[in-house]
Amino acid sequence: MISDAVAIRRRRFGNAMTYSFLLALAVIYIFPFIIAVVTSFKTEPDATANPLSLAPNPATTSAFHQLSADQDFFTWVKNSVIVTLSVTFLRVFLDSLAGYALARLRFRGRGAAFATIVAVMAVPGVVLLIPKFLIIRQFGMYDTYYGMIVPLLVDAAGVFIMKNFFESIPVSVEESARIDGANIFRIYWSIVLPMARPALVTLFILSFQGSWNELAQFIISAQSASLNTLTKGVAQLASGQLGSGNRYPLKLAASTLMTIPVALLFFLFQRRIMNASEGAVKE
């Protein structure tokens, strides 16, 4: 009995240690974000004097007012929304089309095509920036929405995710649809795609977050201020101009606003990821 009590106490102590460690890690991880949010409510002298303080003194929303008075900020938001929505919806559609073809259609060179796509995943994105820039120029898409959007429309990782998911859907469900009279596109659209909802949600979140936070691609594809996205705009704010002060509250207010859509998305969708084929077939 005594040894039982000792064991329980030891386990509790062990748990306490584990959780303390995890909590410490979590705090370290989230601390920069908290600083960003808090600083956006500081005055500029306060932010300069006490950059790491967690209590704005005095608290003010002047940075946000300043942003909302700035016409550029709304241009950035508008551009980010246009690019992100176009990229996200088209990418989910195109990645899933490609994934379905690679998972289910029999055609010559299928293995090679997939191998190539996987190989592309191994190439660092930075390496491709200059070639992308050259191609965008060649196609006359430089400094247009097309140049910003088209190169982001398909990504290897998304095709990979979708292919793997489609392969997990029982073939008999598709065969059943074939016998029921559906053609390949109809099977993809009406049967397979709805069953792939968990993968689509994942891909949607990844694409949204990826294109919302994209910076390098926008730097190489456009130069007009009218095509600045939030990332590009905030980056320019952050690099600052001489004589304009450090403008920490303003920069961090913009950053804070920028994180809201992605955070909301995660919040909304995290519970929607579930088993799609439940009830389709008897395992």
Residues found near another protein in the complex (CB under 8 A): 170, 172-173, 175-183, 186, 190-191, 194-195, 197, 276-283
State the minimum distance, in angstroms, from the CB of residue 265 to another protein.
22
Map tokens 């303390």 to a residue: 20
Return the number of the residue (191 or 234) whose C-beta is nearest another protein.
191
The DSSP symbol for 226 reads G
Rg of the chain taking only CA atoms, in angstroms: 25
Return the number of the residue (18 or 190) whose C-beta is nearest another protein.
190
State the minimum distance, in angstroms, from the CB of residue 5 to another protein.
46
Return the number of the residue (156 or 169) whose C-beta is nearest another protein.
169
Q: How far apart are the first and last CA of the chain?
A: 45
Return the number of the residue (4 or 283) whose C-beta is nearest another protein.
283
State the minimum distance, in angstroms, from the CB of residue 111 to another protein.
15
Task: State the burial class of residue 80 (Cβ atoms within 10 Å of its Cβ: 0-12, 13-18, 19+).
Answer: buried
**Peptide bond connecting 58 to the previous residue in cis, omega within 30 degrees of 0:** yes
State the minimum distance, in angstroms, from the CB of residue 191 to another protein.
6
State the minimum distance, in angstroms, from the CB of residue 106 to another protein.
11
> How far is 37 from 254, CA to CA, in rounded Å?
10
Return the number of the residue (77 or 280) whose C-beta is nearest another protein.
280
> How far is 137 from 78, CA to CA, in rounded Å?
24
